[in-house]
Amino acid sequence: MTNPTIYKSGIRDVDFGANVKVVEPVNLYECKVGDDCFIGPFVEIQKNVIIGNNCRIQSHAFICELVTIGDDSFISHGAKFINDLFHTGGPAGGDSSKWKTTRIGNHVSVGTNATILPVTICDNTVIGAGAVVTKDITEPGIYAGNPARKIRSLG
């Protein structure tokens, strides 16, 4: 019997703003978290991610490389961000040149277990629980379903 290679999760090389609260265990590395943010337990935020000010990232969220989240945004439990579209029929693996960026605007709420592919989501948008966002969202409103579609305007 052989011993496995064990990697430790933790917090490494993170640029934290003022008044950030983090509930461990988490895996945060080489990312930036703005002022007055909350990061819940069992969250992973990978390198080159930027989280704006006054954001809340709930438990079990996964935010992969190349994601930017604007100010005053909320990422609910179990939300997942994807940067690899498997254009070659399988994962790009370590070839980050094949990964795509995701940009989330200000005042965006992403519901529980939503999946966000590499897209841009405009300000003042709500993504419903379980939604799968496959295309850019350029008009504020509430979006739900798979694929996500606008179900109503806000206000």
Active site residues per annotation: 87
Residue from 49, 30, 44 nearest 80 by CA: 44
Angle, CA 111 vertex, CA 58 and CA 48 arms, to 5°? 60
Q: Comparing C-alpha atoms, which of 117, 120, 116 is closest to residue 104?
A: 120
> What is the helix (H) or strand (E) element at residue 116, kind and residue range?
strand 115-116
As a three-state string, the secondary structure of 54-97 is: CCEECCCCEECCCEEECCCCEECCCCEECCCCCCCCCCCCCCHH
- For 106-115, give one letter per residue: b (16+ CB within 10 A) or e: bbbbbbbbbb
Dihedral pair phi/psi, residue 20, rounded to 5°:
-85, 140
